[in-house]
Amino acid sequence: MKTIINRDFTRLWYGQAVSKVGDYVFNTTLVLWIATKLGYHKSWAAGAVSGVLIAGLIATFAVAPAAGVFADRWNRKRTMLRMDAVRAVLVGGLAAVAFLPADKLPVGVWLALIYAVVFAVNAAGTFFGPSRMAVVPDVVNGPVEIAKASGITQSTDALAGMIGPPLAAPLLFAGGVQWAIVINALSYVVSFLMIRTVSIPDNAPTAAEKAGSRFWSEFAVGIMFFGKTRVLVVVIVSACIANFGGQAMNTLDVFFTTQNLHAAPKLYGLLGMAAGAGAIVGGLLSTRVVARIGMTKAIWTTVGTSGLLVLVYARQTSIWAAIPVIFLGLLPVAMVNAAIEPLVIQVTPRAMLGRVVSVIMPVISVTQLGSTVLIGWLFSTVMLHFHADVAGLHMGPIDTMFTITGLLFVAAAVYAYLMLPRDGVVPAAEPQDETEAVTA
């Protein structure tokens, strides 16, 4: 195995790379299974697809705040191992049920089972994610390597996004849904085995610290620190504005492919592959771009550029024309994601990083949840037969929503430009206690 940065980061990276591919296969398969099998030609199909996203978002909102406190309190390595084991068992159980013929269970039961597993897997992920982010400074050295690790992670996630969706369609249509689910279960096993070999310092508190700790006081300290840190507030507000619109693309892209781009469902994965390729290149370029223009400037420039490209994407009528547009649109998205992680790490004391990440996660999930519910309802009711002509352009329901998405990205960029400091940020000092971190 070729070393990336160092041995420990390489193994952490490898486990997550395999796990991410499994996640993309799993999620794309569920969307296609509902849209083209369980809900084929049904008016409620869009709402049912939204249910997959909603289940994950509710889990993040409900569990992440508590997960952040425990991520700062528990041994991070053991937390990641346990969450991988839990997810492997959950997804493996769904795979076992999926070997039953589809007509053996009512559609409602299948959907309820899917939503329950998605909820539980995402709940486990709210413990895993903050722990993994908090160990990055333990396995790499200094802000330069943290930024490099973030860029590599973004490129890897994008590569997984390029590999996973195209695998999902042939697995579903040729082999059956159960094989895609089995792949995801096995990917968690690989992640578990890789993390076991990584040397990570124990962050668990001493017995005296445990005796004096209280869940609600620790949670409140994390909230107060977040609210008093301007950079974190600006990042979360900008992210919420962009995500409120961006969730429309996650919800409706499969329908955009078949209706606006006039493509067969089996070609849906090509858009994910193009987006992944763009994000790979963007992630690889992100270290240079962020180093050249700075983390704060990189955020608003890349979000704004992505918004303009979403406006172009919304007007496409052929999948072959949409592919290069979505490729270009994901270049800046990968760059902004690679800038945010080191920025959050830089302004947050290590002992509070889990709680800070777990403030960001549920706030964004609530935003995405509201957007998903609204988009699913609009597309199934008010916007179902919407058509209009604006400035010589014909507007249908899906491209109208995508146009609004692009405008929201631009609005998020303008807000970040106005509110983020122009001269960079001051790294957080490690305080003697958490009260000092809040008042600093």
Which tens digit of pLDDT belongs to each residue from 381-407?
877 777 777 777 778 888 888 998 999
Segment among 90-94, 208-212, 332-336 with least mean pLDDT: 208-212
**Residue given tokens 């998205």 in the structure block:** 333
Strand bridging mode 388-390 / 393-395: antiparallel
CA 385, CA 382: separation in Å to the nearest integer? 7
Q: Do 299 and 438 form a contact (C-beta atoms < 8 A)?
A: no
Between these two residues, 230 and 102, which has the higher pLDDT value?
230
Tell me whether residue 216 is exposed, middle or buried, using C-beta atoms within 10 angstroms of its C-beta: 0 to 12, 13 to 18, 19 or more. Answer: exposed
pLDDT score recorded for residue 310: 92
Q: How far apart are CA 81 and CA 182, in angstroms?
A: 19
Kindly list the distances between the CA atom of residue 305 and the CA atoms of 86, 312, 317, 416, in Å, as whole numbers in the listed order: 39, 11, 21, 13
How far apart are alpha carbons 386 and 396 in whole angstroms?
A: 6
Cross-strand partners of 394 = 389
Q: pLDDT higher for 308 or 178?
A: 308
Q: For 126-135, 195-204, 308-317, 384-393, which range has the lowest pLDDT when averaged over its residues? A: 384-393
pLDDT of residue 435: 52
**pLDDT reported for residue 1:** 55
Please write the tens of the pLDDT for every residue from 113-146: 899 999 999 999 888 888 888 888 888 877 677 7
* Average pLDDT for the chain: 82
**Distance of alpha carbon 398 from alpha carbon 42, whole angstroms:** 17
Cα separations (Å) of 408 from 114, 185, 296, 403, 413?
31, 36, 19, 9, 9
Proportion of the chain above pLDDT 70, given as a percent: 92
Report residue 184 CA to chain centroid gap: 16
Q: What is the model's pLDDT at position 158? A: 74
pLDDT of 213 over the 70 cut: no
CB 118 within 8 A of CB 94: no
Mean pLDDT, rounded, for 208-223: 69
State the pTM of this model.
0.71
Mean pLDDT of 5-20: 86
Q: What is the pLDDT of residue 209?
A: 47
The candidate with the shortest Cα–Cα distance to 425, out of 284, 202, 230, 255, is 230
CA atoms within 13 A on the CB side of 220: 6
Fold designation for 7-439? Growth Hormone; Chain: A; (1.20.1250)
pLDDT tens sequence across 236-266:
999 888 888 887 787 788 888 888 888 887 7
Residue 273's closest CA among 318, 316, 312, 323? Answer: 323
Query: Which DSSP symbol is given to 350?
Result: G
Sequential DSSP letters for 215-276: HHHHHHHHHHHHHH-HHHHHHHHHHHHHHHHHHHHHHHHHHIIIIIS---GGGHHHHHHHHH
User: Among 29-38, 370-379, 420-429, whose mean pLDDT is lowest?
Assistant: 420-429
d(C-alpha 429, C-alpha 51), whole Å: 42
Q: Provide the pLDDT for residue 390.
A: 74
For residues 84 and 23, what is the distance between their CA atoms, to the nearest angstrom? 12
Ranges of each domain in the chain: 7-439
Q: Which two tokens stand for residue 152?
A: 């590599």
Q: What is the mean pLDDT of residues 280-295?
A: 81
Average pLDDT over residues 43-69: 81
Alpha-carbon dihedral sign for residues 383, 384, 388, 393: positive
pLDDT in tens, 148-161: 787 788 778 777 87
